[in-house]
Amino acid sequence: MSEKLHSRFCTAPDGLNLHALVYGDDASATPIVCLPGLTRPARDFIILAGYLHAKTPRRIVSMDYRGRGGSDWDPEWRHYSLPVEYVDILAVLDQLGVTSAIFIGLSRGGLHAMSLASLRPELVKALVLNDVGPEINPQGLAHISSYVGRLPLLRNVHEAIEHFKRVMGDRFPAVPDEQWLFYAENSLNATPERLRLSYDPQLARMMENFDPTQPLPDLWPVFCELATPILALRGENSDILTAEAHARMAERNPRCQIHVVPGQGHAPLLLDAPTLERIAAFIHEVDRAN
């Protein structure tokens, strides 16, 4: 672990321990807060944090929602919900002394980031949304619900890499082996018997009753009113954020820039050099404007 990277534990309003990774302790530049996807851990952002910190030293916080990564699992699975997580995020920010930041949200984390920008605009200097927006393809959500909480018997990381390639490889043809290794190691925890998911499998119960034929909430009014700079990333092969919805994000909010990550699906891993540089360039623009 890098000497710049530290684990911090905060307390949720209901007493659960919430884990965050903090990269750097520099206070001169605007901090960055990274919010992961539905089943993803804080450590997904380690490479991005190191890259951005090397460009401009600053504090970069990446948090684990309850039931994921290093945070406590919740004995009540119904608490794995957006409203509870939103309150948890505010508690972590308060305990870490983050009063204003640039937010990078991956998928579910992007929904949280948009909510923060709408409801607590003083907290949000800019948004990077990774493969999520105000319109979500229900077929993509149905695909996610088909695998959350499920894992075949995997005994080592090599089996894990092959598993993820089988499940995801057709949508991620541009991902090299070293990035599959990074993804697999972040997705699983080793035990003497087998590799296990790095999140509480009960999380799957939140998706049990998802019906892709029913309309999803319309977030366009919220998105169009966001007054902060936005960079919206989309995986070229994404089944969550369509190309049409991605283009409309820039058309309907003039503060939104868009970028497509070639050869990746939902959600881009934020490991390839062009995407890292595009995020860094956007953050540099935000820094210069403040």
* pLDDT for position 208: 84
Q: Assess contact for 25 and 135: CB atoms under 8 A.
A: no
37 & 9 share domain: yes
Two tokens at 209? 């009753």
Q: What phi and psi values does residue 199 have, to the nearest 5 degrees?
A: -140, 165
- 162 and 138 both lie in a single domain: no
Residues 143 and 213 in one domain: yes
One domain, residues 43 and 186: no
Q: Name the stretches of the chain with pLDDT < 50.
A: 1
Given this model, what pLDDT does residue 2 score?
Answer: 56
Q: Are residues 70 and 127 in the same domain?
A: yes
Domain boundary among 197, 229, 254: 197
**Which of 197, 215, 236 is at the close of a domain?**
197
CATH number at residue 66: 3.40.50.1820
Q: Write down which residue in 197, 213, 233 finishes a domain.
A: 197
Tokens 């595009």: give the residue. 278
Long-range CB contacts (within 8 A, 24+) of 91-94 = 91/10, 91/11, 91/12, 91/13, 91/18, 92/10, 92/18, 92/20, 92/61, 92/63, 93/33, 93/123
Residues 6+ positions from 186 with CB-CB distance below 8 Å: 40, 41, 43, 44, 198
- Give yes or no: residues 204 and 157 share one domain: no
The 10s digit of each residue's pLDDT in 129-153 is 999 999 999 999 998 988 899 999 9
pLDDT at 207: 87
Q: What is the torsional sign of CA 169, 172, 177, 181?
A: negative
Q: Which of 12, 13, 74, 111 has its CA nearest to residue 203?
A: 74
Statement to judge: residues 187 and 117 lie in one domain: no
- The answer to whether 102 and 30 have CB atoms below 8 angstroms apart is yes
Q: What angle do CA 206, 223, 80 make, to 5 degrees?
A: 15
Same domain as 91, residue 170: no
The Cα 229–Cα 121 span in angstroms is: 12
In angstroms, the CA 243 to CA 222 distance is: 20
Q: Shortest CA distance to 109 belongs to which of 141, 65, 150, 168?
A: 65
Q: How many domains does the structure of the chain reveal? A: 2
Same domain, 129 and 186: no
Domain that holds residue 165: 150-197
- State the pLDDT at residue 69: 96
